[in-house]
Amino acid sequence: MRLEPRENISLLHRAMVPVGAALVALLVCSVLIVWAGASPFEALLLFIKGSVGSKFAVSETLTRTIPLIFTGLAAAVAFRAKLWNIGAEGQLYAGACIATWLGTGLIDLPGWLMLPLLFAAGAVAGGLLLLGPTMLKNWLAVDEVVTTLLLNFIVLLFVNWLVFGPWKDPMAMGWPQAAPVVDSAILEPLIAKTRLHWGLVIGLVAALCVWLVMRYTTWGYEIRAVGCNRKASTFVGIPVNSVIIRTALISGGLAGCAGVSELCGLKGYLTLDLSPGFGYSGIVVAMLAALHPIGVVFSALFIAMLSIGADSMSRSLNISNYIADVATAVSLLAVLVSMLLTRYRIRWR
Amino acid sequence: MQDKQLLLDIQGITKRFGNLVANDRIGLQLQEGEILALLGENGAGKTTLMNILFGHYVADEGSITVSGIPLQPGSPREALKAGLGMVHQHFTLAENMTVLDNIMLGTESMFSFGRKDGRAREKIRRLCDQYELDVDHRSLVKHLSVGQRQRVEILKALYRDTRILILDEPTAVLTPQESDHLFATLQLLVEKGLAVIFITHKLREVVAASDRCVVLRHGRVTYTSVTAETSIDVLAREMVGGEIPEVRRPPVQSGANLLKLDTITVSDPHHYTLLDNLSLTVNSGEIIGIAGVSGNGQTHLADLISGLITPNSGTLCLHGSEVKKFSPQDMIHHGVGRIPEDRTGTGLIGDMTVKENLALENYTRSPFSRFGLLNFKALSHRTREITSCYDVRCGGPDSAARNMSGGNMQKLILGRVLSENPTVIIANQPTWGLDVGATAFVHRQLIEASRNGAGVIVISEDLDELFTVADFIHVMYKGTLSERIRPADTSARDLGLAMSGQRSVLHSVSLKEVQS
């Protein structure tokens, strides 16, 4: 079996990549469902019903999409510059921590000022958290995969200490959670009587902004150049180290925004289950989107559908909800393989 | 020749990559005791053929027979077992191991305990005596010269009982003297019954060292001849498939001083001297050639003038004023045009478009960007200008640079650099791996730039290239430069001696002028 590069890659061919990957993921999951003792057709039906079958289902799916857009963008921007930021989870919590610190009584401003301030503060916190590993990478060539990954655990343990210790809300009946944010710091629901909040609009605007920056500005051009070929970028005089630091601040900032949006839009207070691994899912989202900022919106929606649908299905059929995790993993693998197959064809012999 | 055994018989080999026919019904025979030169430009299909021979690719059609036994396709192990051995252009030696270890590597069974060093040493000693290869099997490869390393590669092949030895561009890294030594070794090998194929594009060597030559063009065997019955001119025409484009060099008229390096020293972080007390003067209108075996500091000289490294001591003056800050952007700003050695690795970004590649050195300037926003219209306009002016064949401004041929990549880089009208041009190996047409184009462009008043430095390992374009030549050896030499006052032979450290043979310009 050999791989040969394809000469011309048509648009149709490129468009087929996510579709084909999704189909393969569905197929593999059907096998698992049969194995778990349920009918795959019934499961698929319940899956669709649970993710997009009602107003409630759609609103839940869209609510889940919001943090994934932010963390997906964070990964997409960083990976474009070949800065392997695996620490979006920690940056998310860093953003949520700052927003909790500012938003639970330290300051109280009108909502139109309070929310931008909290988002800005969260972005700064996320950005700064990624700055350390980036400096170490630039100056001492320390692998950022290791440092950002380990920082996740440090931040999580720090949050753990906060919500069990100094920030523990005495009104929370002993639950490990911080005090709720003040009213002016709450992101209003987008549709009444659902959990869907204005974070979706902010996420979509962020995606649009990231796309415009990457596509039309010298900043985006530098990020892409550094990511594609660091040696050539150095040769032509692009300030590689500052480009990478800039990228880190943008990427960490976006992940920090995910934390603020979850805190102010969904939970209202800081807990340890603020994010069930949105930082890591963001990597999947970004890869599925082939690192395209607008694509991130759609792949975030896809992953959200997958997890909400699988949750609902597994509850109704009484099978394990780990099937959602498997489906996510399979779809990532399928996309990576199909991305390879757009550029190469397989020849047997 | 009739009674000699046919060692290698290649029949009708065809290999396609998509629409490209890399090898088209290639037939080739090799007899015992024969040195065959395989000639062809880049992309003629030499590498593909060798890859098929060694089982890295499987041919679509055709058969290969070694010593009368059909060779199983697609198995490198079978190829080695059949007695095929290869010496690659870029050596495949582990530098931190001894010669003995390198030779034995991969020949021992995985399941036998203990090493059979004694037997191996004995065999290597015998081979060294037999073929007059003087290499100490105990020395570490990193302490060996390039010529010695090549001998280790040959020994490695012989140790595996190779009957057919294939050498890919064996003289690319050698001085003319070392090349002669190599050819003597090859002669000895064939006298003992081996057969040799050497792949090259240097015609002089073909005539000097081979018994028979085969020319490949566009994947086909277009010409075969006994070497004694052909000539360099015929071979050159056959290789290019037409007349060779002529490069004219009008007489040099040196003008004002543009670049002056004064006692420059550069060391690496381990205090190893890379450039040693080096001085160089480049005047307007001149093309200065830097000759030397690779690894003698040429890369560092190019990096220095490109603004990638800062000297530890000494001064660099551009247009009479000293450069204090060494960075690529500063050098570009001072009018230095930089053509890098590795065009795919440092010159271009393959995954970006042609348009974006042309903007790499000036995207921060108006009209290509304003207030941090790229001006795509201006970029496309410039791209069309450059691609037509420098005859760059590509799929348009928005096609990926990766898909271009080597020649077109180099034309693109030339266009990017020369369209800015640089006053000093540093070109490191500007025609490496290019076909004859593209090479002539690059030479013409550099000569034109110099005659329009630029000072040009051409670093090259190819002496023919320097004799074609350079007005003056310096020889680089261990980080130092020789005096300025006029090409007319020297020969490839003398330059070769100087390249291996014997400077006394050279007549420098100043000395000559004092005498006359």
What is each CA distance from B118 to B46, B100, B504, in whole angstroms?
39, 11, 44
pLDDT at residue B113 above 70?
Answer: no
Predicted confidence band at B176 (pLDDT cuts at 50, 70, 90)? confident
The reply to whether residue A221 touches residue B359, judged by beta carbons under 8 angstroms, is yes
The reply to whether residue A218 touches residue B364, judged by beta carbons under 8 angstroms, is yes
Shortest distance between the Cα of A237 and any Cα of chain B, in A, equals: 5
CB of B372 within 8 Å of a chain A CB? The answer is: yes
Chain A residues close to B307, C-beta within 8 Å:
237
CB of B388 closer than 8 Å to CB of B421: no
pTM of the model: 0.81
Predicted confidence band at B259 (pLDDT cuts at 50, 70, 90)? very high
CA angle A237-A242-A244, nearest 5°? 105
Which of A2, A235, A345 would best serve as a mutation to test chain B binding (most B beta carbons within 10 A)? Answer: A235
β-bridge partners, B213: B37, B225
Mean per-residue pLDDT, A281-291: 90
Of the listed ranges A278-282, A308-312, B180-184, the least confidently predicted one is: A308-312
Shortest distance between the Cα of B340 and any Cα of chain A, in A, equals: 9
Chain B residues close to A233, C-beta within 8 Å:
349, 360
CB of B373 within 8 Å of a chain A CB? The answer is: yes
Chain A residues close to B328, C-beta within 8 Å:
234-237
Q: pLDDT of B121-144, one tens digit each? A: 888 889 888 888 888 888 898 888
Q: pLDDT of B365-383, one tens digit each? A: 888 988 889 999 999 999 9
Per the model's pLDDT, the better-predicted residue between B328 and A30 turns out to be B328
Of A216, A224, A232, the CB nearest to B345: A232
Nearest CA in chain A to B353: A225
Chain A residues close to B362, C-beta within 8 Å:
none
- Quote the DSSP letter at residue B229: G
The reply to whether residue A349 touches residue B363, judged by beta carbons under 8 angstroms, is no
Omega prior to B367 cis, within 30 of 0: yes
Of B58, B327, B373, the CB nearest to A237: B327
CB of B58 within 8 Å of a chain A CB? The answer is: yes
Residue position matching structure tokens 């690894």: B295
In angstroms and rounded to an integer, the radius of gyration of the C-alpha atoms of chain A is 21
Q: Tokens for B443, please give them.
A: 């030479």
Shortest distance between the Cα of A236 and any Cα of chain B, in A, equals: 5
Q: pLDDT of A120-133, one tens digit each? A: 999 999 999 999 99
From chain A, which residues contact B within 8 Å (Cβ)? 4-7, 216-219, 221, 224-225, 228-229, 231-238, 349
Shortest distance between the Cα of B20 and any Cα of chain A, in A, equals: 10
- pLDDT of amino acid B510: 56
Shortest distance between the Cα of A145 and any Cα of chain B, in A, equals: 24
pLDDT at residue A67 above 90?
Answer: yes
d(CA B89, CA B171): 8
Of A5, A218, A229, the CB nearest to B349: A229
- Please provide the average confidence, as pLDDT, over all residues in chain B: 88
Report the interhelical angle of A40-52 vs A293-317 (nearest 10°): 120
- pLDDT of amino acid A27: 85
CB of B327 within 8 Å of a chain A CB? The answer is: yes
Tell me the DSSP string of A48-115.
HHHHHSSHHHHHHHHHHHHHHHHHHHHHHHHHHTT-----HHHHHHHHHHHHHHIIIII----HHHHH
Mean per-residue pLDDT, B309-317: 94
Mean per-residue pLDDT, A10-29: 77
Mean per-residue pLDDT, B370-398: 89
What residues 255-284 of chain B have any CB closer than 8 A to a CB of chain A?
Answer: none
d(CA B71, CA B228): 31
Closest to B136 (Cα-Cα) out of B88, B103, B179: B103
Of A7, A216, A225, the CB nearest to B373: A216
Mean per-residue pLDDT, A14-32: 79
Per the model's pLDDT, the better-predicted residue between A36 and A95 turns out to be A95
Chain A residues close to B58, C-beta within 8 Å:
349
Shortest distance between the Cα of A345 and any Cα of chain B, in A, equals: 10
The reply to whether residue A238 touches residue B360, judged by beta carbons under 8 angstroms, is yes
Shortest distance between the Cα of B334 and any Cα of chain A, in A, equals: 13
Closest to B196 (Cα-Cα) out of B329, B60, B33, B393: B33
Shortest distance between the Cα of A147 and any Cα of chain B, in A, equals: 27
Q: pLDDT of A159-202, one tens digit each? A: 999 999 899 988 888 888 999 999 999 999 998 889 999 999 99
Predicted confidence band at A336 (pLDDT cuts at 50, 70, 90)? confident
Q: What's the 3-state SS for B38-103?
A: EECCCCCCHHHHHHHHCCCCCCCEEEEEECCEECCCCCHHHHHHCCEEEECCCCCCCCCCEHHHHH
Of the listed ranges A167-181, B69-83, B205-219, B232-246, the least confidently predicted one is: B232-246
CB of B185 closer than 8 Å to CB of B131: yes
Nearest CA in chain A to B302: A235
Q: Tokens for B70, please give them.
A: 């059909």
Predicted confidence band at B358 (pLDDT cuts at 50, 70, 90)? very high
Of A4, A218, A234, the CB nearest to B369: A218
Q: pLDDT of B229-240, one tens digit each? A: 988 888 888 888
d(CA B499, CA B461): 10
Spacing of C-alpha B252 from chain mean position: 27
The reply to whether residue A221 touches residue B356, judged by beta carbons under 8 angstroms, is yes
CB of A99 closer than 8 Å to CB of A264: yes
The reply to whether residue B17 touches residue A228, judged by beta carbons under 8 angstroms, is no
ipTM above 0.90, yes or no: no
Predicted confidence band at B515 (pLDDT cuts at 50, 70, 90)? very low
Mean per-residue pLDDT, A235-249: 95
